[in-house]
Structure formats: structure tokens, C-alpha cells
Structure 1
């Protein structure tokens, strides 16, 4: 190996004497005429090889080299340098569609599913009249119908269906009577915020839907994308919204939209072993064993069931047929309460006079249930009045 020998340059130093201005008895000496400065250690190194010597000058910062293909290659940076290579934009991670090892189908899931579906046929929940699928009905243009569905989904997170439905209607009125991409882009933020002020995180959603409208016009011909990954690339759109948007807007069955209701109820039923911690884990489990033809309907079915019966707090196990059948491992013993609200158990029927009737289960003030359900004869409703607003 060649040895390394450091070179030290010679220098001539002259000392000049002068009396101290503070004490005449003191003589001060100072250096003058420094002829040559020793080069910095990191700047020059003398390399000896056999009979010849050569001086190699090293730089503190080493430029990036370019390889034969024109690609930039990061060279090692000198010790002590704080320079960092610029990061390239990260591509969105594709949405996972399946598990490597499918989750086994739960025991008696078909029986449980059938009972829930039968109960839902007797219950009118907010999602039935004010869900995301209702936002499109006031639009005529196909693109606007799909866009209204997407906007409704984006506003629905952390918000009740009643509030979301009212916000969509108010936003439509604020934009001139129709939810369009161009109208939303042209509207100022204050107008949008005022219309959706009742939904959760309305400030953030104002920004999200405005940026989404711009992306749709620039990249998707002012229409809703037709893939999950493209939808999830929009600001504020996650997998749940993407799968539901494809089902409602494009009639595409590519996965299950899992929200808090689906996540909560399927875990209460013991369908996940071990219990899932996130809606995405729940979705992948369900998609691995639930028949594909049931994917589009399970969200709507369980959301309504969760809104009316399997509540987050104080579930109505006393009204749930799964408790009676012994199919719910999370069933609770119910104590009668004076503050319990009545739940509609039967669909609207029509008498000979065309007056609707509903069957209602009530409790007396002392907490004892009424043995026989009450049939309540209601006056006719105009087409504009929603069934939920009548009682």
C-alpha cells in the first residue's frame, strides 16, 4: 500500500516590538508578514506511490455522478456534510384487495345474515331515506349524479345521515340548484363552508371537496373515477368511500364499504378471530369469505341495523331476534327504562282508504312492555314528505 505523507509548508514570521499603551514598562510583540498559510487538512493530501508523488485535492462536497444510462447516482458524501439527497414524490400505495390466507367463514353466518336481513325489512332507518345513494336523485345529468354521490360520501364521515343529507341539499342550492364540478370550483370557500357548516370537520371538508373538484376536471374529464386507487388518490377519500362510490355511482361491485357500523356489528357477532382493530382489517376478512353477490348490500343492511337496533351504546338487544335465537355472543341483558324510545318494527302498510299504518312497540311508564303492538293510523303523506319526518 502507498503511504500517506502530509506536507507542511514553510513560512517566515517577523515579530515587531512596541510599548504597551497601558503600561510603559511592558513591551508587546506581534507577528507580521505571514508569507504562506498552511493548507487545510481536508483540502490537500500528498500521496506517495513508489518513486512518484502526486497531490490529490479533495472537495468537502462531492457532486452526484451520472451513470451511462443518464440516471443520477448518489456518491458518498464527505464526512460531516449535512447535505441530503432530494426525495422523489412517493406513489400512493395500492389498496389491498385480498388476504394472503383467507379468514374462515364463521359458524352459522348464513342464519345470522338471514335474520338481520329479515329484521331490516321491518325497519326504516335514516340510511334508507338519507344515505349517499339519495343524493343523486335530484340530478339529471349522469356526471352530476355521480359527483353528487361522491360529495355526499365525502361529507358523511363523522356525521349523521340526517345532517349530511341537509348539507348536500344546502350546498346544491348554494351552487345554483345543481351539484356540478364547475360550479363547485367557481364557488368561493365561504359559500361552501356556510352550506356544509353542520357536518363534522367542515373546514377540512371544504378544502377537500374543492381540491377534489379541481382534480376531477384536470385528470378525469370532470367525472368520478372508476377505480378504487384513483378514487383514493383524491383528497379526503378513503377505501370505504371509494368502494361505496363505485357501487352507487358506477354499479361496480369490487369490494365492501366498511364503516363504523359494519366494523362494530361484525365484531359483536364474533365473525373475526381475532377481533379486528380497523375497518380495513374488517373489510379484508369479510371479502375473503362472504359471497361476492352479498358485497354490495351488506353495508346498507348493517348500517341501518346499527342505527336502529345494534346501537354503539345501549344496543336494543330486547328488540333483536339474534338475542332470542342465541346467535349473538355479545347479547346483553336489558333493563327496562322509561326513557327508551319506540322503534318502528313493521313496514308501512296500506288500508282500503289508502292511509298508512305502522306497528309500534311501546313500553309503559313503569317499564312493562305492552303485550299487543299498537297500530297507529296516519294521515296520507304528500310525495314530498319523507317517511322519517312523519314521526
Structure 2
């Protein structure tokens, strides 16, 4: 019997083992105090800032711009290149049109690009062209002599380092003479079909501040770009430039804006002060 008892005892857990198993079972089935409370706690993360009434303001601007008859629609950069040219030539023409457009009205830029295209506008042709003739062809765009020099410099860089094409990144584009962040983001969008950021010119800068689309007043277009990209949904980054530029050319003018004609007159923070 002793042997049988010893044999049967081997199949029974010891007291210490039973306690350990019991403890493990309790710990597994009954969560410790406070467990699971994290899922029910309210989030302490602050909601992303966005301006008041911006969606309604945007819809109103879209309504006012639905005719697409502003200068930017008819003669803007997107209308200045040859759509049937080779892809690298088309991209080069987009680059040049944006270089010419700085501090220049769309009508003047369009006319200058037409004269250049009449002279076979491509990298090889510009490199062969005398800088004086180039300056004459782009006159009277703003800073035409300086821009002629920048175009010659940039074109040489493109031939030597990019196989007569243009860079495909903002970082490389802004290294080119006469190319700033606004131009670079627009080039990426128009030439490469890649939305890298918001193209902010004087119109976008002015209107964004008037509408209160920046958390605090910004002093430069680049500051406005950074402020807008912090909250504006990315899927409308491409649209916002041409939308606000045309709106600024027709209604929200730099001087004497047409507030009485604006659908946003009741929800624009600047309307009553202008």
C-alpha cells in the first residue's frame, strides 16, 4: 500500500505548485486594478487648429471662380508651355515661365513666353542665344535683365547636370539661380504632377491673412505656406494657388477689394475693416 500511495502521490500537485497555479489563474482571469482604464480615458491630445468658417469661405470662393475667366486661367503658367512638346522640353518651359512670372502680370509673362516659343524654346536654343537677345525677348517682365542672366545660368546647369531636363525635387529646384520655394512647388505640381507643397504668391499670402487662414499674421509668402500646410487638407493643396490667385485678380484686390461683391463679406474678418 505504501508503494501505491507513493505512486499516486506522484500524480498530485504539491501545495506550493497548487498555490502557484492558483495565483497564475487569478492573475490571468482577473486584470490588475486599473487595467483597461486607459481605453476609456478621454484623449488629451489637442485638436488641430483650423480657422473659423474656412470651409464655407472656400466653397464661396469656388463659386465665385467657377467661370475660370481670370487672367491666371487664360494666361497663367499652366497655359504658357507647349503641351505637345517632348516631356523634358515641356518641363523646361514650365520652369522658365515661372521664372518670368515673378513680380510680373500673367499677361506680360504669357506674351514673353510666346516670343520665346516662336524661337524654338528648348535648352539648346537658349544656350545658343545671346543674353542680350534673350533679355530683349522677355522684356518687359519684371527685372528682365536679371532674369535673362538667371535663365542662361540655369539652362547651363540643366544641360551639364540634368541631361537637359529639370530637377524632380524641391531641394534641387531651389538651388537653381532665380528659383524660390513658391516656384519650386508649382513646378513640381505642373511639370511633374507631384504635389510637394502649396505655391504661395502675393495673392495667396494676402488673401490667407485677410480670411484668417493663418493662426497668426504672417509677414512673407513662405511664412504663409508653412502656416497653411499645418492645417489645410493636402488634397486641396494643388487647387488653392490658382483658386486664390484668380480670386485676388478679380475680387480680393490688393487695393480697394470688392468686398460688396464677395460672397464672404459676412464671414471675412477683414471685410469690415477694408
TM-score (norm 1): 0.57
Contact 1:168/1:196, CA 8 A, preserved across alignment: yes
Give the structure 2 partner of residue 133 of structure 1.
78
CA–CA separation in structure 1 for the residues paired with 2:69 and 2:272? 23
Of the three residues 212, 215, 226, the one matched with 1:270 is 212
Match of residue 118 from structure 1: 63
RMSD: 1.7
Q: Deviation string for 1:124-157 (max 9, x for gaps)?
A: 1000011111122355211111111110000001
Residue 378 of structure 1 corresponds to none
Alpha-carbon shift at residue 332 of structure 1 (Å)? 4.1
Q: 1:285 to 1:103 in 2, by over 3 A?
A: farther
The residue number in structure 2 matching 1:351 is: none
1:211 aligns with 2:156: no
Using the alignment, how far apart are the partners of 2:47 and 2:228 within structure 1?
9
Q: Show the counterpart of 1:147.
A: 92
Q: Is the 8 A contact 1:181 1:217 kept in 2?
A: yes
Preserved contact between residue 51 and residue 215 of structure 2 (Cα < 8 Å): no
Encode CA deviations 1:86-132: one digit per residue, 9 max, x unaligned. Answer: xxxxxxxxxxxxxxx99721112111111111111035100001111
1:95-114, aligned counterparts within 5 Å?
A: 104-114=49-59
Choose from 244, 267, 270 the match for 1:330. 270
Displacement of 1:171 after TM fit? 1.7
- 1:1-391 to structure 2, matched below 5 A, reads 104-137=49-82, 139-173=84-118, 175=119, 178-323=120-265, 326-332=266-272
Q: Which residue of the partner structure matches residue 10 of structure 2? A: none
Distance 1:143 1:212, change over 3 A: same
| Unaligned stretches of 5+ residues in structure 2 | 1-45
Q: Is the 8 A contact 2:215 2:227 kept in 1?
A: no
For 1:233 and 1:211, the matched residues in 2 are separated by 11
What is the rounded CA distance, in whole Å, between the counterparts of 1:213 and 1:157 in structure 2?
Answer: 18
**TM-score, normalisation: structure 2:** 0.80
Higher relative contact order (CA 8 A, sep 6+): 2
Q: 1:103 to 1:216 in 2, by over 3 A?
A: farther
Distance 1:156 1:305 in 2: 18
**More helix per residue:** 2
* Mapped partners of 2:273, 2:159: distance in 1: 54
Could you say if the C-alpha distance between residues 102 and 276 of structure 1 is closer, same or farther in structure 2, counting changes exceeding 3 Å? farther
| Structure (1 or 2) with the greater strand fraction | 1
Runs ≥4 residues deviating over 3 A? none
Query: What stretches of structure 1 of length at least 5 have no aligned partner?
Result: 1-100, 335-391
Post-superposition offset of 1:190: 1.4
**Distance verdict in 2 for CA 1:211–1:103, change over 3 Å:** farther
Query: How many pairs are equivalent?
Result: 229
CA separation in 1, counterparts of 2:65 and 2:139?
Answer: 32
